[in-house]
Amino acid sequence: MSYRGPEFDVPQPRRFRHGPLAVALAVLVAGALLGWLVYEGVGGADGSPRAASSAPGLSGDDGKRGADTSSAAGGGALRGKVVVIDPGHNPGNVRHPAEINRQVDIGTNRKECDTTGTSTNAGYPEAKFTLDLAHRLRVLLQREGATVKLTHDGDSPPWGPCVDERARIGNAAHADAAISLHADGSAAGNRGFHVIMPGAVHAGAADTRRIVGPSHELGTRLKGAFARETGEAPADYLGEGTGLVTRTDLGGLNLSKVPKVFLECGNMRDSTDAALLTSGAWRQKAARGISEGIMSFLRES
């Protein structure tokens, strides 16, 4: 981050002739600055988006900021588009069992506000995975001109939000597309990713009839782009190998008024999938795949 001080006339210093020592120091400083800029531009050793802190609308070393808004500058293919990213679960949920276990209305029935999510056998939590992936995806979409909103940013709020509130955040933003990021906790040996799309629901506060079609289109484009960028195959344990699943029991989909899908990026309980999900370089590929899928959908919408 650069800082420009108060604009006033600074007294001009006396001019001195530069000796050999001054010239050497100047060269060393310039070289160090150039090296830092190159490191920031190419990214960290684990593939993390080191340039995130200087991307439009971001702040902090890891690109985090509040979850309410995260807007992009000027031009780009997605200028004028709004995307809501919903990182599944929350790292703080484990410390708030009473809050996340309370029941909320999802239209078809009542379910827990939220859950802690799953984890790899080595203890890498789904909530940490989804938040990291959301940060990477946000940077890529903002570079294309999109306005991006997160439903939460780990510590804001410190738990949740509840599944019904996650849907309302997308609705209030009038999102052109919304995606909830997850990783599955199926049995070891089950591999692959799948996209969950809303089924037709019209009960209580839930009415998905207007978004079923566009959500299916979003899911189909997301599946293709995610597979291309990551090299991963669709799940071999559900969806009959199509990578596409329709459900009517998820509050985040039932209560959505905007095109929305869930993406289960892999199975955390399978050692092969877990090795991918815990890799920063692979998560960057996943973010690119998701971004490409969303862009493909929004260009046609």
Annotated active-site positions, please? 264
Backbone angles phi, psi at 281, to 5 degrees: -65, -40
Please report, as a single letter, which amino acid is at residue 283: R
DSSP for 57-109 reads T--STT----SS-----S-STTTT-EEEEEESS-GGGGG-HHHHHSEEE-SSS
Q: What is the H or E stretch that residue 110 is in?
A: strand 110-112
Residue 203: strand, helix, or coil: strand
| Distance from the first to the final alpha carbon of the chain | 36
Residues 6+ apart with CB under 8 A from 208: 198, 199, 200, 201, 202, 215, 253, 254, 256
3-state secondary structure at position 149: strand
Pairing, β 110-112 against β 103-105: antiparallel
Q: How far is CA 168 from CA 80, 94, 228, 268, in A?
A: 20, 23, 32, 28
Asked if 166 and 111 touch (Cβ cutoff 8 Å), the reply is: no
Is the Cβ–Cβ distance between 219 and 175 less than 8 Å? no
